[in-house]
Structures are given as structure tokens and as C-alpha cells.
Chain A
Amino acid sequence: MNRRTGGVAALLAVIAAIAAVAVTTATATPNHAARALVGCKGGATIGLLAPITGPAASLGEPQQRWARFFVSRWNVTHKKFKITMREGDTQLPNVAEATKAAQTLASNSKILGIAGPAGSQEVVATTPILKGVGLAYVTGSATRTTLTDGSRSGYFFRVVPPDAVQGPTVARYIVNILKKKNVLIIDDQETYSTGLSADAAGELRSLGATVSRDSVSQSASDFSSLISRINNNVDVVYIPWQLPPKAQLFAQQMREQGKRQILFSSDGTFDPTTYKPAQTAYNSFFPVARTNKVVTAYKRSHGGQPDFFGTPTYVATQVVVEAVAKACKNGSASRAEVRSNIRKTNIKKSLLGLRVRFTANGDLNGGRFGIFRVTNGNYTPVG
């Protein structure tokens, strides 16, 4: 055996020895990770998964700001139990990045619970990772109905009602209150939008309305040709989109072409500072108390921007932090304890104007949507 072969053999032997030691001494399992106690006497760590950069950063940044806002308020009032938040950038719609970010947070044994992720497709992609290490994750925006089909029970929770609630609420308002029967639904090709469109379309048809569908990419910036083809017999155009500026542009271009249909949009576009259509418009959102002192304080510290899309993430962070604080009362906590505490959450009056309690599958118990009439940026609750 020459020197080179001998060196390679020695290297292989060392690798084999390390592997053997690792295999025989490894005791950590997903179950173990979930039950492992973390010392948290003076404070604890939670995680946040949000699209902080990338194409959907305009959705993720408000979530990040509201989550940070909750943590900073908590830390001011709880000097003896401070929260540290580690953030993971999911770069929606890049699911691979969401997976990486989830892995990074999951491998940090100090993290006891997670607020997020934002998108339904991200929830699907990160479930094996987060569930595998026993972490609870509470989203403030993933509304796909099937996420709470039972396969994530005890791990996944959401503080927003699912599409199955919002879509039919909108449909009933259009048919029963506005008395309109011909609806064009345009989705923005994202999971949120297509799911919501499908739920609304189903309910509209069951109520006897005529529904036509179209779709346009969320990244599009010119809707004029799409608007040109809207028939005059359409009564209502429903745009369940995620980006308020895009909805505003759509409204402007409709006006430019003299289209007079009623414009209906969803919670994703609830932003009185950006979405201010000049025509008759409606919006569905949580009955959030816009004059709440927390909203006022947030606006004051964020240049007057309310960033309403991020308010559910404030509540999601609140759910996680309160569960962690409860679990840490004896100076240590496990992820399993935090999950158990989240299941028992009962926030009587949340920032969303709703009581926050969860069903066995992680849905908001009794979640509902309100309808707002939008007039030049003024949002008036009407249903």
C-alpha cells in the first residue's frame, strides 16, 4: 500500500468511526425534541416566519413589523420575562426558501413556538419540518380551507377564518344585500386568491348567480386589456387579491375606461391608505377596531401607516408568546407544553375584534368576516 492509498484509508476509517459513534449515541428524536425542556427563567425565544424579502415583501414586512411591535410592547411591560424573536425569511412564493427558513428555526432548540408562515403553500411545505420537531406554528394569513383538515391538528393554528368563511360571506352579501346576480371573479393566480375565488364562486352559484372567472398574475402591472373585455352586463367584479396597490390600480384603470361595475375585494386589500377606489366598492375583513389604542400606537410609531394586513400576525404572536410565558412559569418549558397551551388559548377581545379560541383542528372558533363599504378611502362597516 503506497502512502496515498494509506492516507485515504485512514480518512475513511475516521469518517466510519465518527458515523458509528453518532449512530450509537444519538438519542434525540422528533418526539424527544418536542419534550426537551428549555430553560426560560428570565425570558424565552420564539420564531417568526414571514416573506421579509422577495416579491411578496410588501405582505411580509407589515407582518414582521406587527410581530416586532407585539414583542417590543410585551418586553416593556414584562421586565422579568423578555421575549426574543428569531426571524426566518420565507421569500414567498419561493417555497424552497420557506423550507430552509423553517429548518433554521426548527434546529434552534431555544425556539418554543412560531408565528407564521404567511402563505398556505408555505404551511404545506414547512409542516413536516415544524411538526417533526414538535413546534406549534400560528399563522396570521394562511387561509386555505384544507389546511385544517386534521392532518396538522395540535401543531398548526390560525387566527384568521378560512376561505370557506370569507368566500361565502362575500357571496351572500352580493346576492342577498346588493341584489346582484352577475359576478366576474378575477383571481391573482396565488393560492390565497384561487382558493377564495373557488369558495366564493361555489356559494354564488348555489345562490343562483351567474359567475364568470378570469385570472391575472399578481406581478402584472397593466390590467387595462383585461378590463377592456369586461362585459357591460357584469354587475360586480370580485378581486380577492393580496396586494392593495394592485387592487387600487385595477380600480383606477376601470375608471379610466368608464367601467361602472361594483368592485368587491377581500381582506388582502384592506388598506385604507393605499386602496381608495373612487367607484362603488366593498371589502371583506375582520371587524378590526381601527381606533383601538394599539392600532393608534402602531400608527404613531410607524409613520402613520396602519399596515392592517399585519394585524393578524400581531395576534398570532400574542398567542404564541402568551402560551410560552405560561409554560415558562416554572422556569423551563417544552415545545409540547407550548402546543398544549396554544390549544387552550382564550383571548376574549383580540385586536381583530374577535374572540380567539381554537377548534380541535386549529381553526378560529366562530371566526367571521365583516363587510366594509369603501368610499374614497373611508371604510364603513355595513355587514
Chain B
Amino acid sequence: MRLRLHPPRSVGNVLFYVGVAVALGLLLREGFRLGWPLFGQLVVNGLTLGSVYALIALGYTMVYGILKLLNFAHGDVYMVGAFIGFGVLNVFGAPPNSSLPVWLLVSLMFLAAMIGCGGLGVAIERFAYRPLREAPRIAPLISALGVSFFLQNSVLLLLGSQFRQYPFGLINPGGVQLGTVFISATRIFVIAGAAVLMVVLTIFVKRSRLGKAMRATSFDREAAMMMGIDADRVIAATFFIGSALAGAAGVMFGLVFTQVFHFMGFVAGLKGFTAAVIGGIGSIPGAMVGGLLIGLGEAFATGYVSSTYQDLIVFCILIFVILVRPSGLFGTPAIQKV
């Protein structure tokens, strides 16, 4: 016998569409009231921030999908990625004093951050989570919090509390003027870069052998192992990919918002986690949509209401989605065998 643990989907669906219609109506009203140039600028701002959140959310959702673990250290892995990018920048120098062309410098920053964070993710899994895999669920959760504090304070101890600055307009100080909306080259790069990474990840998970193994392990680890899948290897690969995406998000954040510091992972991690929950934790497309929704929600809340209420509005969106769609936008309903 199977038991459904969520409210009737039809009622949730109706409420969900009503909510979406109300939100769109409010946005249109503000668009007419305050002008479309502001609307366009807010969309650009929201998509930039949302792209970063989406990349962070992917890591949360992949790990949860495969281990049912909320990896609270993920935000700090993202912070480490931003610092690795900054380190590369320091080694080769920032333009115009750099010994490398900009495209190569930026590629190296991404490569170093993704490999470094991927390795860090694997190490975290190996030493902080794997020994606790058979322990009650609360144990790895506490371990994750411990790793988060460890990373935060290690960076504080090693690199100090100062904010480190990426150069403003590193990729290109210019941009594109669309009517009255200005989109900087860096923002275009970040939105496009995040989209490419997300598409590549989706194809990888759907088509590749390892991706299929990841999905099988996520669905039923024991059955996957019986079919000859090395679950430890798959879990390590999941941590590597999720953490590499967080590293890329860290560099993207540095490129657009220029400042990195030891505590930056906390808020970003929280937002990334929220995005993963809104999208349906465990769902890759859900994490992407959730991230973009949170980014746009923040931008519209700040632009049309007040930045004071930005987080309040974002978390109201979370509560609304959880109420009407308990498994998130793309999540599958919880089904329990009894």
C-alpha cells in the first residue's frame, strides 16, 4: 500500500496558479506605474543574481538527491571558489598589468576555482560525511554545520577578514544599451556562462554513463549497488560536480559584485538552499528555476517595494510554494511505503 503525504494536488495547483497570476498582475501594474526601463533593468539585475543562486542551488540539490543530506557547508565551498579566483588574479595580475590576455586569465580563474572546489567537495564528503553515512540523519547534518564553520574560520585565519576586491569590469568595462536599459558585459557573461553550465550539466546527467549512475544511485542506492554501480565513486563525483559549480558561482559573483570575504557563503548558501527548496530539492531543473526566481524576486522586491523587505518577500515566496506545492515546483511528491 502506498500513502500520499501531501495535500490534494488539484487544490495546490489552483492556489499556485492564482498566486502566479497575482504576482504577474502586480508586476505589470508596477511596470506601467514606474515605467518599463526600470522593469527591464530589474530583470537584468535579477537574472544576474539568480544565475549565481541557481549554480549554488544545483550543488545543494545534487547532494540532497543522492544522499538526502543538506550540505550546509556548500555556501562556504562557494566562498572558497571566489577566493581561489582571486588568488589566480593575484598571481597573474589584473589587466592592464596582467601577463595574460583577459580571456585566458578568466578561464584560468574558472578552471582553478572549479577544480579546487571540486576537490574540496570530495574531501569534505570523504572525511566529514562518508563515516556518518549509516548514522542517524542528524549526525551528518551537524557535521555539515561543523565543516561550514571550519571553512569560514580557516579562511578568516589564513587570509584575514578584509574584503578582497576583483577589478570592476574585468572582462570588459563596457556593455550593451538596450533602449534605456544598460547591460554590462560582465552581467551578460555571467548570465550566459551560468546558462551554459546548467545546460551542460543537464545533458551530462541525462546522457552520460556517470550521469545515469548518479540518477540510479539517487533513485535507490542499494539497488544501484546490486547492479554493479560503485556508489562511493558516484557520490564522490556528485560532490565534485556540485562543488565545482559552486566554485564557478563564486568566481561569477566576484566578477559582477567584485567583493569576496570569509562570511559571504552564509547568505548566498541560505539563498541557494531556498532556491533548491522552491524548485523541489533533488530536482536539477527545479534548482535552476528556483535560483532564477529568487534572484528576480529579490530584484523586484527591492525595485518596487523596498530593499528592507527584500528577504521577507523572498521567504514569503518560499512559504507560499511550500504551502501549495510541498515538494517544490519540480519535485516529486513524497511517497512512503507502509
Task: Determine whether the beta carbon of B156 is less than 8 Å from that of A57.
Answer: yes
Q: Which of B45, B261, B308 contacts A222 (CB 8 A)?
A: B45
CA–CA, A248 and B257, complex, Å: 10
Task: Determine whether the beta carbon of B153 is less than 8 Å from that of A53.
Answer: yes
Please give, as numbers and ranges, the residues of chain B lying within 8 Å of A225 by CB-CB distance.
41-42, 45-46, 298-300, 302-303, 307
Q: Does A229 contact B (CB under 8 A)?
A: yes
Q: Does B143 contact A (CB under 8 A)?
A: no
Known: A214-B306, A216-B307. A228 touches B38 (CB 8 A): yes
Closest approach, in angstroms, between the C-beta of A257 and any C-beta of chain B?
6
Task: Determine whether the beta carbon of A228 is less than 8 Å from that of B263.
Answer: no
CA–CA, A279 and B310, complex, Å: 27
Q: Does B107 contact A (CB under 8 A)?
A: no
CA–CA, A249 and B300, complex, Å: 20
Q: Does A224 contact B (CB under 8 A)?
A: yes
Size class of the A contact interface (CB-based, 8 Å): 20 to 34
A60 to chain B: closest residue by CB: B161
Binding stretch for chain A, among B162-170, B239-247, B274-282, B322-330: B162-170
Pairs of residues from A and B, 3 with the lowest C-beta to C-beta distance, nearest first: A57-B161, A245-B163, A225-B302
Please give, as numbers and ranges, the residues of chain B lying within 8 Å of A97 by CB-CB distance.
none
Q: Which A246-302 residues sit within 8 Å CB-CB of chain B?
A: 246, 248-249, 252, 256-258, 274
Known: A53-B153, A214-B307, A245-B163. A257 touches B259 (CB 8 A): no
Q: Which B151-197 residues sit within 8 Å CB-CB of chain A?
A: 153, 156, 160-163, 165, 168, 175, 182, 184
CA–CA, A245 and B48, complex, Å: 20
B39 to chain A: closest residue by CB: A228
Known: A225-B46, A257-B182. A217 touches B307 (CB 8 A): yes
Task: Determine whether the beta carbon of A252 is less than 8 Å from that of B168.
Answer: yes
Task: Determine whether the beta carbon of B41 is less than 8 Å from that of A257.
Answer: yes
Size class of the B contact interface (CB-based, 8 Å): 35 or more
Q: Does A94 contact B (CB under 8 A)?
A: no
14 contacts between A and B (CB under 8 A): A55-B263, A60-B161, A61-B160, A61-B161, A215-B307, A217-B310, A220-B307, A221-B257, A221-B267, A222-B298, A228-B303, A229-B304, A248-B165, A252-B168
Q: State the total of A-B contacts with C-beta under 8 angstroms.
A: 99
Q: Which A182-235 residues sit within 8 Å CB-CB of chain B?
A: 189, 214-217, 219-226, 228-229
Q: Which of B257, B304, B308 contacts A214 (CB 8 A)?
A: B308
Please give, as numbers and ranges, the residues of chain A lying within 8 Å of B299 by CB-CB distance.
224-225
Q: Does A58 contact B (CB under 8 A)?
A: yes
B residues sitting closer than 8 Å to A (CB atoms) are 34, 38, 41-42, 45-46, 48-49, 153, 156, 160-163, 165, 168, 175, 182, 184, 253, 256-259, 261-264, 266-267, 298-300, 302-304, 306-308, 310-311
Task: Determine whether the beta carbon of B261 is less than 8 Å from that of A58.
Answer: yes
Q: Does A377 contact B (CB under 8 A)?
A: no
B309 to chain A: closest residue by CB: A215
Q: Which of B46, B163, B258, B266 contacts A58 (CB 8 A)?
A: B163
Task: Determine whether the beta carbon of A217 is less than 8 Å from that of B302.
Answer: no
Closest approach, in angstroms, between the C-beta of B268 and any C-beta of chain A?
8
Q: Which of A226, A246, A274 contacts B302 (CB 8 A)?
A: A226
Known: A222-B45, A225-B46. A245 touches B165 (CB 8 A): yes
Please give, as numbers and ranges, the residues of chain A lying within 8 Å of B41 by CB-CB distance.
224-225, 228, 257
Known: A61-B160, A229-B303, A257-B182. A245 touches B259 (CB 8 A): yes
Task: Determine whether the beta carbon of A228 is less than 8 Å from that of B42.
Answer: yes
